[in-house]
Amino acid sequence: MFAFSKEQRARHRYFVSNKDKVAEIVRAMGLDEGERQGIKSTIIEAYPGPGTFTRAFMEHPAVEKVISMENVSMFLTCLEQLRDDPSMSAHADKLRIIPDTGYSWDTYETLVKDGHLSHLEGRVAKLGAHAPPMDWDGTLFPLTSAPSPIVFFAQLPNTVHGEQLFAQLVNAISSRLWLFQFGRVKMIFVCGETVALRSMASPQDPRTRAKLGATVQCLSTPKQLLTGDEMEPYAENMYPPTPTIGPRVPVTSIFIPNSNISTGLQKRKLTALEIDPLRSPLIDARDMDSFEFLTRNMFVLKSQTVVEGLKHTAPGANNILRLVAPEHPRMKDRPEDVVLPDTLIVELTNRQWASAVCAAD
C-alpha cells in the first residue's frame, strides 16, 4: 500500500507504526497538563503520514483540533479515510487536512488565511479582533503559567530538509515569527537521535557540543521524551522497517532557507524530542545575525581558545573580549556572563555565548 518512491514524494519518509509506541509518545507530551488548566490543545501536525498519531490526537480528550499537513497522495487518502471512518465519527470534526508540505512557509500562511485557527480567535495573541495581548514571559499574568493551546508536532524526514526545518523553526523563536507570533508554542519532533543529542549537548560534552546545541539552548529547553533505545527495535516500531537516509542537497527558494547543511544524519535510531521556548530567551531577533555568525565561524575551531577563535572570525573581533572581561563595568554584577580569553570555545556556556554576541553588537 505504501510505495515510498521518488514519484510518490515519500523517499526517506517514515512514520511510527506501532500503536503502543504512538500512545507512549502522546502520553509523554503531557497534553493533559493543559486541560487541567482549562485549556484544550490544538495540534498542528507536519508529515503525519497515514495518520497513526493523527488518530491518537483525535481520540485524545484534551485535544480540540488536529490540523494535519500532508502533500503525499497515498498519505492524504489515508487521512481522508480516517476522517470518514464511521468508528471515528465522534471525533471527525476535530480533523482539518491541508494538502501541502509542512516544509514551506506558504503552508503556515494558508493555515491562518483559510481559517484553520479561527476557533482560537480571542483566545491567543494576534488571532481575531479581540485577541489578548502577547504575554510571552508571563509579565501580564504572573500568577498563571498556562501553556499555549497550540502544539506543533512533526515526524521529520530523514533528509537534510528535515534538519533544516528543525533548525529554522528553532531560530524563529528569537524573532517570534511562524507560529510563535501566537505565543510560546511547544514543539515535539520524532527525529534522528543525533539531532536530539546535539540539541541537548552541554559544554561538558565536547564531542557532541556544537552550534545547534548552543542555538537550541539559548532559545528553548530541549527534552527527550523517549530515547533512541526506547524506540528500538526499529523494525517493530517504524515503517518502512528498513530506514534510509536522504541526500545532502541544497534547497530551492520556495522552501524555508537555511545555510547550515547538516552532517552525520542518523540512519537508524530515532527519538522523540520536545522543544519548549524559554520565557526569556538569551538571544533576541536583534542579536540573531551576530549569534549565527559567531557560532558558525567559531565552532569549526571549537577545540581552540576563544581568543584564537576570534582572531580567525573577523578583523578586530577579539575586541569583544575587552567588553566581556571581569574588570569591565558591565560585567560587575554578571560573573556568569564573563568570557575569559583562554576558555575553550567548546566550553562556553549558553550565557557566555549570549554575552559575547551582545558585545559584538
Beta carbons of 233 and 270 less than 8 angstroms apart: no
Collect the ranges in the chain with pLDDT lower than 70. Answer: 4-9, 34-36, 141-146, 244-268
pLDDT on residue 242? 80
pLDDT on residue 171? 95
Three cell numbers written together for 264: 552525520
Per-residue pLDDT of 252-283, as tens digits, reads 434 444 434 344 444 568 999 999 999 999 99
Taking alpha carbons only, the member of 198, 222, 213, 215 closest to residue 275 is: 222
pLDDT on residue 294? 93
Please report the DSSP string for 235-263 in residue order.
Answer: HHHEESSS-------PPPTTSPP------
Q: Where in the chain is the domain with CATH 3.40.50.150?
A: 15-277
pLDDT on residue 158? 80
> Cβ–Cβ contacts within 10 Å for residue 64, how many?
17
Q: Distance of CA 296 to CAs 153, 211, 218, Å?
A: 28, 7, 15
Residue with cell 562556553: 348
The whole-angstrom separation of Cα 117 and Cα 275 is: 22
Sheet arrangement for strand 270-277: 95-98, 63-69, 41-46, 150-155, 186-192, 270-277, 220-226
Q: Residues marked as binding for S-adenosyl-L-methionine?
A: 16, 70
Architecture in CATH of 15-277: 3-Layer(aba) Sandwich (3.40)
The whole-angstrom separation of Cα 42 and Cα 44 is: 6
Taking alpha carbons only, the member of 163, 182, 290, 167 closest to residue 220 is: 167
User: Which are the contacts of 333, defined by CB distance < 8 A and separation ≥ 6?
Assistant: none
DSSP β-ladder status, 63-69 and 41-46: parallel
The whole-angstrom separation of Cα 59 and Cα 41 is: 12
User: Which are the contacts of 69, defined by CB distance < 8 A and separation ≥ 6?
Assistant: 44, 45, 46, 47, 48, 98, 100, 101, 102, 107, 111
Beta carbons of 186 and 275 less than 8 angstroms apart: yes
pLDDT on residue 160? 81
**Coil, strand or helix at 162:** helix
pLDDT on residue 31? 93
Three cell numbers written together for 203: 559544554
The whole-angstrom separation of Cα 68 and Cα 153 is: 9
* pTM beyond 0.75: yes
**Coil, strand or helix at 298:** helix
Q: Residues marked as binding?
A: 16, 70
User: Phi, psi at residue 187, to the nearest 5°?
Assistant: -120, 140
214-217 CB contacts, 8 Å cutoff, 24+ apart: 214/295, 214/299, 214/348, 214/350, 214/353, 215/167, 215/170, 215/171, 215/291, 215/295, 216/170, 216/275, 217/350
174-180 CB contacts, 8 Å cutoff, 24+ apart: 174/219, 174/281, 174/283, 174/284, 174/285, 174/287, 174/288, 175/285, 175/288, 176/134, 176/136, 176/285, 178/105, 178/108, 179/44, 179/108, 179/150, 179/152, 180/277
